[in-house]
Every structure is written in structure tokens, then in C-alpha cells.
Structure 1
Amino acid sequence: MRAIQVDRFGGPEVLTLRQVPEPVPGPGQSLITVEAAGVNFADAVQTDGSYEGGEPPPYVPGREVVGRTRDGRRVAALTRGGYAELALADDARMIDVPDDLPAGQALALLMQGLTAWHLLRTAARLLPGESVVVHSAAGGVGSLAVQLAREFGAAWVGAAVSTAAKRDLVLSLGADAVVGYPLDRPADVILDAVGGRLFDEALDSLAVSGRLVTYGNASRAGFTPVDPARLGRLGAGVVGFWLRPVLARPGGYAEPLRELLSLTLRGRLRPVTGAEYPLAEARRAHEDLLARRTTGKVILRP
């Protein structure tokens, strides 16, 4: 079968289309004919070797797919080796999706949808009536977090974006305003995947008892030391978040995913679909993602 393989760590240039053996399902696994594979920032970080817990080369990247099982079910699933024509998934990590749900929307609900859900529910523990600021709000996680914050009862949602087109998008998704720092008013919850200077500015913009949730370092600027005395003066907190261990907890995967799917099918949640690339152009997909030229869910089509 055709698949993208990483033979050595590096940038997007190490993504190479190859013929590789078909995967063989083991107990409790299913083989999926891939309709579309999701592209995530974490894929790019794993490719360059800086992702904690990543696989050593050679490997096939890709953690999520939509496709059909051998018995004809259309499913969305977390997997390993999704950048391929065929992928394996644990049966416990699959969910049936309707035939009329676009593949990009279904994929957006997996790693990015579950991340947005857990950022607000598990990490920030958002309370009704609180205010939320979302960094990178036009991206896959951010665009869903803006909508879910409103769905979960936030009284005000601010969005940080980098272009005018992205501004229009986040306002159409329900953000009350596009914001920059310093904020006009302190925020109860700030979601940050950028790090660096933006993290530091966000920390100074928290309300009393506010929570700054950090779940990435897209700026690659290094980690900002946080002085506990500073947190004490602010009366605020910093919460670190990583999706993988959260999904392993009871109730961490299937239940929130079903809620996300239900909200989408009822029209209350609109996953933003972005660019689609042929499997052979995985390198270009990563280049565009890293250059912040994309919005919403980016996918590969085998």
C-alpha cells in the first residue's frame, strides 16, 4: 500500500511517499480503508523529533482517520500510521459517523475536538458566566474552543488571531471580539498553545482566580519560568495540559466524543474544515501548517 514514511527526523522534507506492507490487525483491532487522514501540529513536532513519547524512525505518521472497516462501517478513529491507504485502529478508539458528515468535520472532532473539550472541561474547569480568551482561535483546536466555550456557558469569548480573514472567521463562530494584549478586561480562562511572549502577556491578563491553560509551544520560543510568588500576587494559576493521558482516563474518550458528534449533527457546533491535500503532498501540508497558512482542519486524501 502507499503511505507516507518518516525515515529520519527533520522538517517537512522528510515526509516521503513509499510502498509499505499492509498492517495486520491483532485482537481488538480493525483495518480501516482510509478516506481521509487528519493533519495536526503534533504530527509536525513528532516529525522533527521533539515530541515527547514520539516514535523513532522509520514510521508512518498520522494519529486520526475517517474510513471504512472491512464490514462496511464508516468510522472515525484514533490510530497510528494514518498517513496511508490502510490503517489499524483499536476497536475502543473508533466511533461510527454518518455517511453525510464531511470527512474533515468528522476528523476535527477527534484530536482537536477532544483537546478543545478537555481544555475547557477538564483543565480550565470553566464555570458558567466566566470569560474566555482563545489563542490561535482560527486553528483546528481554537475554532472549536471558541464555539464550545459559548456552548458551555461562557459569558464572553475573546479570540486572538493573526490575519483579517481569520478575524472574520472567529467572529462568525461566535467570538465576541478579537483581542490583543493587554486585554481591556482580565479574563477568567485563557487557552494558550503558542507560548513565549504571548504566554507571559496572557499571565498578566488573568482575573483573580483565573486559569491560564498551556497546551503547546508553537512559537518554539522556549518555556517561560513562572515564579510562584507572581502567581500568588495575581491570585491566578497555570495549568498544563496534554491530551494523551487524559484520553486514557475512564470517561475521557468516548463520552466527550459522542457529545461533540451530537452537537455537530444538531448544528450547534461547526467544525471548520480547511485545506485538503493528496497523500503525496503531505510535505506541503506540513509546510503550510507550520507557516500558519491554514485554518481549521487540514486533511490528506489517499
Structure 2
Amino acid sequence: MRRVRYEVNGGPEVLFTEEAPVPEPGPGELLVRVEAVGVTLPVVRKVHEGTEPVPLGGEVAGTVAAVGEGVTGFAVGDRVTGLCFSHAYAEAALVHHTMACVIPHWASCVDAVALVRSGLVARGAYEAGHPRPGDAVLVTAAAGAVGTLALQYAKAGGASRVVAAVSSADKADFVRVLGADEVVLYDDESWGAPVDVVVDGVGGELLGPAVRALAPGGRLVAFSSGGGTIDAYELLVRGASVIGFQMAAVARGEPELYARWRDDLWELHRDRTLRPRVSAEIPLTEAARAHELITSRRNLGKVVLVP
């Protein structure tokens, strides 16, 4: 089978395609013949910023080709999606059965990788901010895979005002269609009237303006892998708080909640409350182009690799 990996950090040119044996599923694992791979920002950052190579993980969707010992609830021939922590950029990948779910017959594999993981993170991050009906909510990276869904959650959750923060003005119409009432640019001097909740998927230098956008008692939810530093005095004068959110902690510590959220996603998608957006479907062998699309902030929604 073909798969993509990299040897050194430093840029998209380090990605290359190689031939590799089809892996064997171990206990609790599914072998999935991959039809779509969701590219995630944390993996892109590992390639560009990491100190040593790691397997390119990510969301995958496809058909179960084999099941490992102890697997229940799945069979060969099922269409599934799930998170692969080893080699996801491949024609076949291993997914632990606890991280997988069956794709409804009415949805495609591309739908699945655009919706499930990004939707879970969007919902978890949004709810971590303890939003109340009538709150104003601001979402950074609003045109990205998670941000597009977080905007829709905020709108459906009764926010009085939904603000989309994006990197460039050419994304404004796109996020307004998804429910944004206002659009601000990262380098604007002011992000408008204060908000009650900020859902931040960028981190780094944006943490400063994100905190300053908070109303008294506001909550900033940080779920980005981008790191960054927050001025404690800015929190003090606002009586504001910062909440860290990690989806893996919910998956491991609250599996029943994780499963319920996942089931809810499909229902919200079916009734059109949640509409995932796909920026591009790119051949697996052109993974470097997919990464460049994300690092240049040109993607509108999810970037998907198609073997």
C-alpha cells in the first residue's frame, strides 16, 4: 500500500510517498481501507515545528477490512470513521474500536472526516465556556474545520451575537453564511463590543486580543496546540477566566458523554443544523499541498486527503 511520511522537520518538502506493508490489526483494533483522511492543524504543526519525525495521524474514514481480537460492535464491510494515532496518511490504517463509529448510510466518507472529530472538538470547546442563552460568542479560526462548526453551535445554542475572527477579509462572506453576525480580522485594533465567551483555536499572539475581547466575567476557552502566554492582569481587571479544553480527556474520562456527543453530531448533520464545509479534496500523494493550504490559512473548512 501507499502511505505518506516525513523524515525531518522544516517544511512541506519533507513529505514523501512510500510503499509499506498493510498493517495487521492488534487486539481491539480495526483495519480500515481508507477512502478519506482529515488533515488536522496539530499534525501539520508537528511536521513544521517538531524536533523529530512522528507518524502522521489524523481522522480516517473507509471500510473495515479486518478486526482484531476482542473487537465488538464492528464487522468486516462496515463503513466507519475514527481517529488513527499511527499512520493515517495511507491506503489502510489502524483505528482502535473505542475511537471509531459507524457512518450512516446517507453520509459519505468525506462528510465523516469533515464532521466527527472537528464537530466533537467544536462542541466540547463551546460547552467548556459554559455559554448561557443570550451570551455573545467569538470564535477564532472561524473559517477552519473546527471554527465553522463552533460558529454553528453558537448560533443554534441561542447566542445573541456570534463574532467570527479570521485572518483575511476574503473569508468574511463565507463565515457569515455559517451564522456569523459580525466579522473581525486578527490584526484589527479592536474586536468590537465585548463578548461573554471566546472559543480560541489559534493561540500564540492571538491570546492577547482574545482576552481583551472579553466582557466582565467572560470565559476564554483555549483548545489550540499553538501555545502562547496570557497576561494575568488582563484577566484580573475583567474578572475573566481561561479554560483549557482537550478532546482526548473527554474520550478517555467520559466515554458515555463522548459517545452521546458523537451520536448527536449525526442527527444535527442530518437535520442540517450542522453543515460541515470541505475546503478541498486532495490526492494522498499531494499531502504537502494539503499542509500548505492550512499553513497559509487559505482553507475554508476541512482539508481532506483522498487515497
TM over 0.5: yes
Tell me, yes or no, if structure 1 residue 119 matches structure 2 residue 114: no
- Whole-angstrom distance in 1 between the partners of 2:205 and 2:93: 39
Q: Which amino acid aligns with 2:265?
A: L
Match of 1:188 in 2: 196
Match of 2:269 in 1: 264
Q: What secondary structure is seen at the aligned counterpart in 1 of 2:253?
A: coil
1:49, distance to aligned residue in structure 2 (A) = 4.9
1:217, distance to aligned residue in structure 2 (A) = 5.8
In the TM superposition, what whole-angstrom CA distance separates every residue of 1:95-145 from its partner, at most 9, and x where no partner exists? 111243233321122331111111011x21212211100111111111000
- Whole-angstrom distance in 2 between the partners of 1:13 and 1:252: 40
Q: Does the 8 Å CA contact 2:32/2:95 hold for their aligned counterparts?
A: yes
Q: What secondary structure is seen at the aligned counterpart in 2 of 1:105?
A: helix
Tell me, yes or no, if structure 1 residue 211 matches structure 2 residue 215: no
Match of 1:29 in 2: 29
- Whole-angstrom distance in 1 between the partners of 2:27 and 2:229: 44
1:170, distance to aligned residue in structure 2 (A) = 0.9
- Whole-angstrom distance in 2 between the partners of 1:170 and 1:24: 42
TM-score if structure 1 supplies the norm length? 0.90
Match of 2:239 in 1: 235
1:269, distance to aligned residue in structure 2 (A) = 0.7
Match of 1:74 in 2: 79
Q: What secondary structure is seen at the aligned counterpart in 1 of 2:146?
A: helix
Match of 2:294 among 289, 295, 298: 289
Match of 1:64 in 2: 59
Q: Does the 8 Å CA contact 2:116/2:265 hold for their aligned counterparts?
A: no
- Whole-angstrom distance in 2 between the partners of 1:202 and 1:223: 12
- Whole-angstrom distance in 2 between the partners of 1:100 and 1:18: 34
What count of residue pairs does the alignment treat as equivalent? Answer: 292
Q: Which amino acid aligns with 1:176?
A: D
Q: What secondary structure is seen at the aligned counterpart in 2 of 1:160?
A: strand
- Whole-angstrom distance in 2 between the partners of 1:196 and 1:36: 30
Q: Does the 8 Å CA contact 1:12/1:44 hold for their aligned counterparts?
A: no
In the TM superposition, what whole-angstrom CA distance separates every residue of 1:254-291 from its partner, at most 9, and x where no partner exists? 22111111100111110011111111000111111101
Return 181-190 or 255-264, whichever deviates more. Answer: 181-190
In the TM superposition, what whole-angstrom CA distance separates every residue of 1:30-81 from its partner, at most 9, and x where no partner exists? 1100001110111111223549xxxx53x54132111001221111111121
Q: Does the 8 Å CA contact 1:104/1:297 hold for their aligned counterparts?
A: no
In the TM superposition, what whole-angstrom CA distance separates every residue of 1:206-256 from its partner, at most 9, and x where no partner exists? 1111011222265xxx722422x4322211111222332232121352221
- Whole-angstrom distance in 2 between the partners of 1:163 and 1:90: 38
Tell me, yes or no, if structure 1 residue 17 matches structure 2 residue 11: no
Unaligned 5+ segments in structure 1 are none
- Structure 1 vs Structure 2 CA RMSD: 1.9
Match of 1:103 in 2: 109
Unaligned 5+ segments in structure 2 are 66-75
- Between the two proteins, what is the percent identity of the paired residues? 41
In the TM superposition, what whole-angstrom CA distance separates every residue of 1:146-181 from its partner, at most 9, and x where no partner exists? 001112221211111233442111111111111355
Q: Does the 8 Å CA contact 2:142/2:165 hold for their aligned counterparts?
A: yes
Match of 1:40 in 2: 40
